[in-house]
Chains A and B, each alone.
Chain A
Amino acid sequence: MENCWAEKYCKRYNKPGCNQFCEGYVVLEILYKFSNIPKKYQYPAILTTTGPDEKVYKEIAQIISGDIISWVNSGNSLLLWGERKGNGKTTMACAIANKFIREMASRTTLEPVVHFIKTAKFFEEMRQQFNNPTPEWPERLKMIETVPLLIIDDIGAERPSDWVRERLLTIIDERYSNNLSTIYTSNCNKQQMMENLHERVYDRIKDARALEFKGPSWRGLSNV
């Protein structure tokens, strides 16, 4: 049995019934498998800080402590950006996703509720599809287009080919048109994003609430 995702908050943790057949554990295991969230971001994170990002952290903490299901179902989107790396953009995006997964666990139909894509890797997968299309790819794209909460991590850092950009536009536009919640993280400013993704893509991303991370990198620090 892996570390339980709910060990910080589950009332049954370390009590009778806490095993790999616990219903909560089984559901969380499935939802996290669907989510594609990297392992290190799947567990609860510290949601407070001091310094330049204090306000941004507080706003995200409010989203997390509020009615997250309504927040997602209302189609709220975020653009968590900042030119500095390692200051918690992906962590905060995943913290929102983790809370949403937790809330959805008791409403599950074992369908994906969150999906995480790392932009560079996703572009590479798309390029492979251009050369060697596989029958299962449309199913995956359909899931990315329709999952209630999508995280597109590190968008804008790479300039995609026209073909890849068109596919990305289709995904983002589909979600935008259907009022589906998307959280973007990026190290690019508006200008860089416009250059790399072109206006048609950026035009839809910019409608998301932008929160700028200005703080220093945490990476390499044992405690924050």
Chain B
Amino acid sequence: MSEEQNNNSGLGASIIQVQFINWMLNNNSIQPVIDHQIDESYFPGYEKEFNYIIKYWNESKIRDGKGVVPDKVKFAYDFPDFPMFETGDAINTMFSELHEQRCYSLFVEHLQKSAEKSKENSFDAIQYAKEQFDKLYKFAKSDIGNGKCLIRGANERLEDYLKRIEIHGLLGIRTGDENMDKALHGWLPEDFVVIIARTNEGKSWLLLFYLIQACLQGKKVGMYSGEMSHLMMGFRFDTLYKHFGNSQLVGGDPMLGDSSVPEVGAKTLKEYQQYIDALVSGDLPEFRIFTQKDLMGRMSVNKMRILQDRHDFDIWGLDQLSLMDDDRKGREERIRYGNISQDCFTFTEDYQRPVLAVHQALRKASEAKKKDPNAAPTLEDAFGADAIMQNATRGLSFTQIENGAKCSIIKNRYGQKGMDFLYVWNINYGVFRPLQPTSIKDNLF
């Protein structure tokens, strides 16, 4: 590492530069460089590598009409000491950090020059500092994007619409309920979904159900479990995935099923062993649970970013918002919820990965259900609801009634709201399937 790479801006600065260059190589793109007018001054110590990529891109564009970045093998050959690794998708965050580091370097440089000048004449030094810092202030704010022109950029819409036709509107990860998919178009890359329910309604189960559906579609899942251990979450996984009786698993009962219910069946210890063997050797992607023990405390969005960069999950589940830390250390609970939910939303924007979070309705709302079991939680029932729901792209309320359940869309940034989805719902055997009114009609009449 050169001396310049160990300059005042520290090791963190060189890491972000290396990350950024790796991102360009991994994604075969210099679009952020163009968008933000980034030049070599952002890469002290890595100017050669940066300029090499840009030169290569420019030359290929002139030659072939389309710019490409150099092949990673070629790049590694030409820069054998350059650390190469996989990067996440959070290019906006990377640029913000890079820009901040560049501002920091300029800030220190101006301070040093001002200090030098003040040794000769402090008035000149002040004049110099004012001019430089005025310029620097404008530069620091220059990372604000330019927006998009709806008229000149109309082709983008057409392309997107054609893509939607092709996939019948289902743009995201399927929820496990066709009707809900029609309303929500699946969990979208920029979705921050908040599921609110009262205590003991099974909201953590619902979250786990959605995440298992994602896993079954080959999506890598990351989940924060603020209360439950890996083991308990694992048993719940088995229950929801293959209907092994949860109370029996937890209670050590060798009979894990119910022979009177075909979709559950009479499950035995042997079947559980076979299931576990198949699960371990099968081809389902990772489904990783993080507890407070793993994280040396509560989850925060900054920790999610570290884990996302490390594991590249396709979807996140957070159980639950009230058991998360606010990286910005808001003083009041309401402000903390606002900060956490805003950071979650920014996370989805940066990484283009949906985040599903559960949140508990107010205790008052739980009391209300004792007298009126049908009363579904409303937006107002969520503590800090205004702050949380402002940042959520979708809001779902969940109510369990006997062996049934109702999920209602209470906020939907991208479509209809106020729709109800009904389910047959049994936690112990992980039965969760949409209620089909036509089936009821066929049987009862």
Chain A residues proximal to chain B, CB less than 8 Å: 6, 9-12, 16-17, 19-27, 29-30, 33-34, 102, 105-112, 134-137, 139-140, 143
Contact = CB atoms under 8 A, between A and B. Distances in A.
Contacts of B438: 106
Contacts of B369: 136
A106 B438 CA distance: 7
A134 B372 CA distance: 12
B263 A21 contact: yes
Contact of B371 (A11, A25, A102, A137): A137
Contact of A19 (B261, B374, B402): B261
A29 B424 CA distance: 11
Nearest to B375: A139
Contacts of A110: 374, 399, 401, 404, 406, 420, 422
List of 6 A-B pairs having minimum Cβ-Cβ separation, nearest first = A106-B441, A136-B371, A136-B368, A106-B440, A139-B372, A19-B261
A10 to B, nearest CB: 5
B373 interface: yes
B367 interface: yes
B43 to A, nearest CB: 59
Contact of B404 (A30, A106, A140): A30
Contacts of A27: 404, 435, 440
A8 B406 CA distance: 28
Contacts of B258: 19
B145 interface: no
Contacts of B426: 20-21
A108 B373 contact: no
B374 A135 contact: no
B371 A139 contact: yes
Nearest to B264: A21
A105 B422 contact: no
Contacts of B264: 21
A192 to B, nearest CB: 31
Given A16-B262, A21-B261, A21-B424, A136 B443 contact: no
Given A21-B431, A108-B437, A109-B422, A29 B371 contact: no
Contacts of B402: 26, 29-30, 33
Contacts of A22: 443
A219 to B, nearest CB: 31
A7 B364 CA distance: 39
22 contacts: A11-B444, A16-B262, A20-B261, A21-B426, A22-B443, A26-B404, A26-B435, A29-B402, A30-B404, A34-B374, A102-B444, A105-B440, A106-B437, A106-B441, A110-B420, A112-B374, A134-B367, A135-B367, A136-B367, A136-B368, A140-B372, A143-B372
